[in-house]
Amino acid sequence: MTHRSFFWFVFPTLSAMMLFIALPIVSVLIQSLHVEHEQVLVVVESCGPFGCTQTMDIDHEATQALRDEQPLGRFNGLNTYINRSHLAFADISEAWQTKATLTEFVQSIMNLPFYRALAFTLTYTFGVTPFVLVFGLAIAVGVNNLPKLFKGPTIFCSLLPMMVTPLVGALTLFWMVDGDGVIGATLQYLFDDPALSLKASASLTWIMLIVYGIWSSIPFSFIVFYAGLQTVPKDILEAAMIDGATKWQRMWHVVVPHLMPLLIFITLIQLMDNFRVLEPIIGFSAQAHATSLSFIIFNDLNESGYPLFASAAATSILTILGVAVLLTPVLIRTWRDFHRKSH
């Protein structure tokens, strides 16, 4: 294909990606270096029967004019990154000096919004993925052994948790585990504690969200593993059987190694997708105990009145850096694949 025709073929898709994915990243970077204007203050003298007092008041008109003139705000350098809502270096070093024990130190860090969100995001990402792999494989093997008649309907039901909108899936589960819902009420009955609520404690909230994450991601790993099982070479399995390998040995030494590339593929996709967890927190209204990086960006942008663009942008850049770290192995792998194919 000539360069010229290649250019015209990729032009629409490339310009869409440049305009709405690459440029926004630049825009986020610029926004993160600026900060909202301070409100313009004026001295107002109010005179009453007992003399005059001077008070500071906000000049709304002037503030608005300034905002309209420079919507980006004023230049702030890296200050947004190191303030209390983000990396909070000052607070960390203060906590390091004043807190006596390590536990107290960790506790005080977990009160900082960014680190709280980061802790949940990482726990969620690395908590969900292993379960998804194990359960997905177990179900794939189980379905593979079902009579053919049942396979279709089984796969249909299995796909549902992944296919439904994350917010809708989260709400569906939330209404069941909520205090008045069927599972929530049953738990209260079982533990004989009418005040038991999964929303009340931080650890229960985290577990609830992670269970949701596993539930909604199992179908993906199940389907991929199921497809992989169809391609396991039969002669190797038979050879292993002739050599006297038991079921478990065949599973562990033949099937699992064969599925290894798929396992890596699922892990990488899962890490990327779980890192951006947002909807479950909104669906479960769990923000009191669990916030994620995406959620604090969403929250900043939803700030009633005037969205906190700078704060959201700084968190976005930090999130993108996190994604870059997660993505490095994928890129290296793809790079190697490409070289293997081209040589």
Partner 1 sequence: MALTVLSGFRPLVMVSTGCVILWLLVAAFPFLWTLWGSFKVQADFFSKADWTNALFGVNTLRETGGSFTGEGYSGAWVDEGFWKAAINTMIVVFFTTIISLTFGTLGGYALARSGFRYAFWILMAALVFRAMPHITLVSGYLLPFFEWNIWGILPTTIIVLVAINQPFTLWMLHSFFLNIPKDIDESAMVDGCTRFQAFRYVIIPVMWPGVITTGLFSFLLAYNDFAVTAMLLSSENQTMIPAIRSFLGTTQQEGNVMFAVAAVVSATVPLFLLVLFFQRQIVSGLTAGAVKG
- CA dist 30 and 71 (Å) reads 12
Interface mask (CB under 8 A) for partner 1, residues 62-81, using x and -?
---------xx---------
- CA dist 340 and 250 (Å) reads 30
Quote the least distance from Cβ 280 to partner 1, whole Å.
Answer: 11
Burial 8-28 (b: 16+ CB within 10 A, else e): eeeeeeeeeeeeeeeeeeeeb
Quote the least distance from Cβ 204 to partner 1, whole Å.
Answer: 19
Cβ neighbours for 128, distance < 8 A, ≥ 6 positions apart: 210, 213, 214, 217, 270, 274
Quote the least distance from Cβ 109 to partner 1, whole Å.
Answer: 23
- Smaller CB separation from partner 1, 115 or 220: 220
Interface mask (CB under 8 A) for partner 1, residues 115-144, using x and -?
--------------------x--xx-xxxx
Cα-flanking dihedrals φ and ψ of residue 200, to 5°?
A: -75, -35
- Smaller CB separation from partner 1, 40 or 251: 251
Question: Max CA-CA distance within the chain?
Answer: 107
Residue selected from 14, 42, 78, 110 as contacting partner 1 according to rule CB under 8 A: 14
Residue selected from 24, 77, 130, 329 as contacting partner 1 according to rule CB under 8 A: 24
CB 184 within 8 A of CB 197: yes
- CA dist 258 and 233 (Å) reads 9
Number of residues that bind partner 1 (CB under 8 A): 117
Interface mask (CB under 8 A) for partner 1, residues 177-196, using x and -?
-xxxxx--xx----------
- CA dist 184 and 197 (Å) reads 7
CA atoms within 13 A on the CB side of 252: 5
Quote the least distance from Cβ 138 to partner 1, whole Å.
Answer: 6
Determine if 55 is a binding residue for partner 1 (CB under 8 A). no
Which two structure tokens, joined as six digits, stand for 106? 């960790």
Restricting to residues 221-280, name those near partner 1 by CB under 8 A: 223-224, 227-232, 234, 237, 247, 250-251, 255, 261-262, 265-266, 272, 275-276, 278-279
CB 225 within 8 A of CB 259: yes
Residue selected from 75, 89, 96, 335 as contacting partner 1 according to rule CB under 8 A: 335
Determine if 2 is a binding residue for partner 1 (CB under 8 A). yes
Restricting to residues 309-328, name those near partner 1 by CB under 8 A: 309, 312-313, 316-317, 319-320, 323, 326-327
